[in-house]
């Protein structure tokens, strides 16, 4: 141990080569520990709604408005405050509109710059100078730092000093770009760290745009949702995942995501669908929502929807037969169809099919793809595997994401921890071994990564199939239901067959013993800790509460996706965790970016402080603070080594 310690201190001395350098770093770190903790922002189940997502990101779930209120209080009208907030969210667009109506732009620039400087000071106040400096736009770093840093030595001349800077900015015609830089800096400083608690993909039109935005975000982690893992599997070339991704895009009228967003060629599928289903009304495959389609485009999408759905049922049947350990044989239904009578037998009961036209299904070999279907799947697989943008997005999910995360005494995961009826952890068999709780999450995550990176072909193939399993299996913590009744929802009118029974986890969330056991399973104390998850929309309009178990659990899926908003009655929850406590925001539907700029309409949010800390949280109370304390301890050891002569200063 002494030898290892000496080698470590020698390495550390390369970074801090003198007593002075090591001492200065200790002083800096100790000072940072006493600053207020940064604001964490939690979002979940975004489902491709990029406009609403971008707006919530810009306004920090109301945090920007709170800062404007803190700075200006009653000295500014509500209308002026909202106008300032809109400018901070959309500076370029707002300036263009102001220029059309404002007679004296020089005065507007001056007033606006002073207001933004004050908001910027407030946003920067909780951070160290070095952290703020790193966030500053390179072009204006020095000037902004001068404007937002208090200078006691200028007490009498401060006003003229600031006036000189502001007047020069306006005089050399840099006011607009400077205002834009300040607005973006305020957005950047308002939220210190972003948590995405799953399901970026599916249903909405812009998951690819959301991914681009996240890739440029300053500090983010992602807990994968089942829809995210589905896309990861598709990118890895898993056929069941590919078929599901294409089917869902077709069902919600979002094939543009694949064609325009990712450049995936759907012409082979379209050609096959027209050749096979041209005379079929495909009544069971009408689209969800009201996509902006012409008649011919709608007909083609419906045919493609049916074509890929039948292919999916065949491909999934092959995966289930290949993996008997998945224990999903009961989900293979094509061989249960009586094609002459147009009926199917499920659980000993016979049902009439709503659609009886299966031209590509051979009753003797129902799970075998026709030559044309095989060609479609082969082309789609190559397209997904070779799509550069998609592969970049998936690598980002792998680098920044995981199935769960423990962060600042909060346990984050998307779906559930599978439980038995009595609240105990449910064992799940994965490739011959039994796992539960934390170990289940960890083994599933390891297989996701193997699906991309394993050198052994068998392990890589297992990893790919496991991504499909995570998407829809009863044993998956990200799915958390007994079955995914896709076939039944398409082909059977009897609602009893559509039922997907949730894991007991969802009915036991008010049981404190159960919640405490989950927290302990993941290494957390039972006091002052929380579970934060999404996945199942909270039906607020029915009186359902997102806060469970006396504030120990937050289920923050409130219907960010438009597809869920009729069920939930709102447009999503977000959670803010700042130095004062936890704030839950319930959002009204977002009209559009255009309306937000033109009408200065924000997302109306009802924010509730759900847990206030008795003392303001400091950086020293966080996980980052724990790391800093370890660094301080190591640096003190280095100082002792310098002073005792064990290590020489590198002067």
Residue 131 CB burial class (10 angstroms; 0-12, 13-18, ≥19): middle
Model pLDDT for residues 392-443, shown as the tens digit of each residue:
999 999 999 999 999 999 999 999 999 999 999 999 999 999 999 999 999 9
Same domain, 65 and 128: yes
> Residue 285 has which token pair?
């495959």
Rounded to an integer, the average pLDDT of 568-582 is 80
At residue 479, the pLDDT reads 95
- What is the chain's length? 651
Task: Please state the domain count of the chain.
Answer: 3
Mean predicted confidence (pLDDT) in 228-250: 98
Confidence of residue 244 (pLDDT cuts 50, 70, 90): very high
Write the burial class of residue 504 (CB in 10 Å: 0-12 exposed, 13-18 middle, 19+ buried): buried
The closest of 557, 591, 588, 550 to 574, measured between CA atoms, is: 557
- Do 284 and 329 belong together in one domain? yes
The proportion of the chain whose per-residue pLDDT surpasses 70, expressed as a percent, equals 93
Q: Name the nearest CA neighbour of 208 among 262, 252, 266.
A: 262
**What six digits make up the tokens of 383?**
């397209």
Tell me the per-residue pLDDT of 27-60, one tens digit each, with 9 for 90 and over: 999 999 999 999 999 999 999 999 888 888 888 8
Spatial distance between the Cα atoms of 135 and 181, rounded to a whole number of angstroms: 11
Is there a contact between 556 and 574 (Cβ–Cβ < 8 Å)? yes
What number is the average pLDDT over the span 296-323? 97
Shared domain for 116 and 248, answered yes or no, is no
For residue 487, tell me if it sits in a domain.
yes
Phi, psi of 533, deg, nearest 5: -150, 170
Alpha-carbon distance of 289 to 281, in angstroms, equals 19
Q: Do 634 and 486 fall into the same domain?
A: no
Alpha-carbon gap, residue 482 to 502, rounded angstroms: 6
Residue 113 scores a pLDDT above 90: yes
Indicate if 583 and 445 belong to the same structural domain: no
Are residues 288 and 424 located together in one domain of the fold? yes
Tokens 């709170």 belong to residue: 66
CA dihedral sign of residues 320, 207, 547, 589:
negative
Look at residue 124 in the predicted model and tell me its pLDDT. 92
Q: What is the pLDDT of residue 72?
A: 94
Domain, as residue range, for 456 = 227-396+420-507
Beta bridge partners of 497: none
User: In Å, what is the CA distance from 554 to each residue of 222, 530, 575?
Assistant: 17, 7, 9
Beta strands in 415-556 (DSSP E): 428-430, 433-435, 530-533, 547-548, 553-555
Q: Which two tokens stand for residue 427?
A: 């064992």
Residue 16 covered by a domain:
yes
Taking the chain, what is the end-to-end CA distance rounded to the nearest angstrom?
Answer: 28
Q: Same structural domain for residues 567 and 431? A: no
The strand pair at 581-587 and 573-578 is best described as: antiparallel
Summarised one tens digit per residue, pLDDT across range 336-349 is: 999 999 999 999 99
Residue 516 lies in a domain: no
Backbone torsion region of residue 401, taken as left when φ is above 0, otherwise alpha when ψ lies between -120 and 50, otherwise beta: beta
Q: Are residues 59 and 188 in the same domain?
A: yes
Q: Is residue 460 part of a domain?
A: yes
Does the residue 209 lie in any domain?
no
pLDDT in tens, 152-205: 555 556 678 888 889 999 999 999 999 999 999 999 999 999 999 999 999 899
Residues 240 and 132 in one domain: no
* pLDDT at position 352: 97
Say how far apart CA 52 and CA 602 lie, in whole Å: 10
Q: Are 237 and 394 in contact (CB under 8 A)?
A: no
Q: Quick one: tokens of 451?
A: 């699906």
Last residue of a domain, one of 492, 507, 522: 507
Which residue in the block uniquely carries the two structure tokens 């082969």? Answer: 378
SS3 353: coil
The answer to the question of residue 300 being in a domain is: yes
Q: Which of 540, 538, 539, 518 is nearest to 530 (CA)?
A: 518
Confidence of residue 534 (pLDDT cuts 50, 70, 90): confident
Give the count of beta carbons closer than 10 Å to the beta carbon of residue 250: 27
| CA–CA distances in Å: residue 624 to residues 38, 72, 128, 648 | 10, 32, 14, 30
Q: Is there a contact between 249 and 257 (Cβ–Cβ < 8 Å)?
A: yes
pLDDT, tens only, 72-83: 998 999 899 999
Give the global pTM.
0.92
Is residue 455 located within the same domain as residue 336? yes
Give the confidence band of 4 by pLDDT, cuts at 50, 70, 90.
Answer: confident
Strands 337-338 and 220-223: unpaired
Query: Could you tell me the sign of the dihedral formed by the alpha carbons of 79, 84, 86, 92, in that order?
Result: positive
- The pLDDT confidence band at residue 123, using thresholds 50, 70 and 90, is very high
Could you tell me if residue 22 is inside a domain? yes
Residue-wise pLDDT for 473-515, tens only, equals 999 999 999 999 999 999 999 999 999 999 999 999 999 999 9
**Widest CA span of the chain, in angstroms?**
94
Within 13 Å and on the Cβ side, how many CA atoms surround 496?
Answer: 5
CA distance 547 to 361: 48
pLDDT band for position 568 (cuts 50, 70, 90): low
* Distance from C-alpha of 313 to C-alpha of 487, rounded to nearest angstrom: 8
> 541 and 482, same structural domain?
no
185 domain residue, yes or no: yes
Residue from 10, 25, 19 nearest 649 by CA:
19
Higher pLDDT, 248 or 288: 248
Residues 288, 392: one domain?
A: yes
**Which residues make beta-bridge pairs with 481?**
502
């Amino acid at each position: 141990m002494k030898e290892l310690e000496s080698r470590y201190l020698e390495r550390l001395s390369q970074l801090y080569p003198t007593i002075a350098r090591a001492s200065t770093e200790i002083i800096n770190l100790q000072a940072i520990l006493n600053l207020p903790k940064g604001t964490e922002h939690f979002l979940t189940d975004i489902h491709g709604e990029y406009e609403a997502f971008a707006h919530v990101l810009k306004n920090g779930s109301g945090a920007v408005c709170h800062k404007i209120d803190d700075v200006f209080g009653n000295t500014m009208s509500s209308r002026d405050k909202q106008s300032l907030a809109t400018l901070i969210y959309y500076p370029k667009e707002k300036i263009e509109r102001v220029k059309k109506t404002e007679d004296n732009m020089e005065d507007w620039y001056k007033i606006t710059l002073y207001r933004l400087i004050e908001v910027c000071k407030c946003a920067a106040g909780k951070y160290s100078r070095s952290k703020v400096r790193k966030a500053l736009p390179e072009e204006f770093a020095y000037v902004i730092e001068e404007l937002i840093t208090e200078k006691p030595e200028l007490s009498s001349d401060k006003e003229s000093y600031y006036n000189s800077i502001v007047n020069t900015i306006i005089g050399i015609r840099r006011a607009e770009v400077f205002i834009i830089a300040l607005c973006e800096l305020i957005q950047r400083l308002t939220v210190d760290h972003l948590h995405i608690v799953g399901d970026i993909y599916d249903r909405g039109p812009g998951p690819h745009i959301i991914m681009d935005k996240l890739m440029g975000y300053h500090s983010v982690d992602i807990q994968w949702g089942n829809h995210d893992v589905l896309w990861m599997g598709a990118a890895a070339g898993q056929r069941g995942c590919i078929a599901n991704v294409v089917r869902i895009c077709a069902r919600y009228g979002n094939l543009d995501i694949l064609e325009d967003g990712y450049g995936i060629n759907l012409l082979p599928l379209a050609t096959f669908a027209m050749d096979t289903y041209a005379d079929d009304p495909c009544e069971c495959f009408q689209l969800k929502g009201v996509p902006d389609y012409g008649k011919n485009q709608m007909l083609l999408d419906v045919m493609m929807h049916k074509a890929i759905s039948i292919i999916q049922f065949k491909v999934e049947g092959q995966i289930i037969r290949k993996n008997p350990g998945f224990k999903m044989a009961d989900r293979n239904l094509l061989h249960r169809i009586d094609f002459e009578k147009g009926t199917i037998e499920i659980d000993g009961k016979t049902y009439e099919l709503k659609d009886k036209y299966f031209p590509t299904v051979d009753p003797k070999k129902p799970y075998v793809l026709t030559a044309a279907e095989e060609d479609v799947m082969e082309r789609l697989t190559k397209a997904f595997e070779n799509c550069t943008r998609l592969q970049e997005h998936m690598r980002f999910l792998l680098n920044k994401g995981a199935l769960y995360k423990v962060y600042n005494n909060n346990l984050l995961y998307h779906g559930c921890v599978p439980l038995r009826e009595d609240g105990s952890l449910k064992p799940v068999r994965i490739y011959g071994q039994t796992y539960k709780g934390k170990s289940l999450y960890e083994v599933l995550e390891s297989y996701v990564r193997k699906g991309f990176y394993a050198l052994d072909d068998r392990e890589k193939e297992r990893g790919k199939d496991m991504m499909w399993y995570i998407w829809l299996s009863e044993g998956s913590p990200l799915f958390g239901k007994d079955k995914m009744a896709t076939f039944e929802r398409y082909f059977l009118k009897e609602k009893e067959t559509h039922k997907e029974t949730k894991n007991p986890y969802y009915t036991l969330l008010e049981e404190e013993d159960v919640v405490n056991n989950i927290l302990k399973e993941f290494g957390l104390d039972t006091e002052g800790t929380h579970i934060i998850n999404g996945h199942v929309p909270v039906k607020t309009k029915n009186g359902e509460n997102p806060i469970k178990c006396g504030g120990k659990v937050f289920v923050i899926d409130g219907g960010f996706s438009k597809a869920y908003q009729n069920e939930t009655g709102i447009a999503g929850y977000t959670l803010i965790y700042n130095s004062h406590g936890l704030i839950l925001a319930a959002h009204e539907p977002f009209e559009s970016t255009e309306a937000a700029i033109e009408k200065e309409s924000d997302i109306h949010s009802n924010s509730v402080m759900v847990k206030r800390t008795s003392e303001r949280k400091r950086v020293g109370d966080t996980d980052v603070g724990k790391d800093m304390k370890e660094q301080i301890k190591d640096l003190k050891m280095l100082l002792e080594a310098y002073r005792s002569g064990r290590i020489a200063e590198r002067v």
